[in-house]
């Protein structure tokens, strides 16, 4: 099994609904995001996927989140903008563009991260 990982970043603000504590108030993060793709087969050039394509796909999604108040975005009006749900949002959007996406991990700080990886079918 081969796997590739790329990282991206975005900055945004959010507040958590239904949460009792500091995070129920408006606050922001400088998020780090890691996308991992995996597969058994390499293409004719010996690559699983070109890093450039994976990075471009991730960055296009992160542009939608960068310098935004996440709670105001359509998706997060319905879904609480937790780290877990942000990871799933990025995964779902990136999986539409790239075959073999394994997982998306988001860091809201150096010490706190959430990962989304779908259950095996």
Adjacent-strand bridge partners of 105: 34, 115
Q: For all residues of the chain together, what is the average pLDDT?
A: 96
- Tell me whether residue 1 is exposed, middle or buried, using C-beta atoms within 10 angstroms of its C-beta: 0 to 12, 13 to 18, 19 or more: exposed
121 domain-assigned:
no
The pLDDT, as a whole number, for residue 51 is 96
- Which tens digit of pLDDT belongs to each residue from 83-95? 999 999 999 999 9
Active site residue 29: no
The total domain count for the chain is 1
Active site residue 67: yes
What pTM value is reported for the model?
0.95
83 domain-assigned:
yes
63 domain-assigned:
yes
43 domain-assigned:
yes
At 119, list the tokens. Answer: 């259950």
The pLDDT, as a whole number, for residue 115 is 98
70 domain-assigned:
yes
Of 23, 24, 27, 112, the active-site residue reads 23
33 domain-assigned:
yes
Q: What is the CATH number of the domain that holds 109?
A: 3.30.479.10
Average the pLDDT over 36-52 and give the result. Answer: 95
Active site residue 108: yes
Contact 1, 9 (CB under 8 A): no
Of 14, 29, 34, 108, the active-site residue reads 108
Residue range of the domain that includes 84: 2-116
Of 9, 24, 27, 67, the active-site residue reads 67
């Amino acid at each position: 099994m081969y796997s590739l990982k790329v990282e991206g970043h975005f900055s945004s603000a959010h507040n958590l609904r239904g949460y009792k504590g500091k995070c129920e108030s408006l606050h922001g993060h400088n998020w780090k995001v890691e996308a991992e793709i995996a597969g058994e087969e390499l293409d004719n050039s010996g690559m699983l996927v070109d890093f450039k394509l994976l990075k471009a796909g991730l960055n296009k999604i992160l542009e939608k989140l960068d310098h935004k108040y996440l709670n105001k975005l359509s998706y997060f009006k319905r879904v609480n903008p937790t780290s877990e749900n942000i990871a799933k949002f990025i995964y779902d959007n990136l999986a539409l563009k790239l075959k073999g996406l394994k997982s998306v991990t988001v860091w809201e700080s150096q010490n706190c991260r959430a990962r989304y990886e779908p259950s095996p079918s």
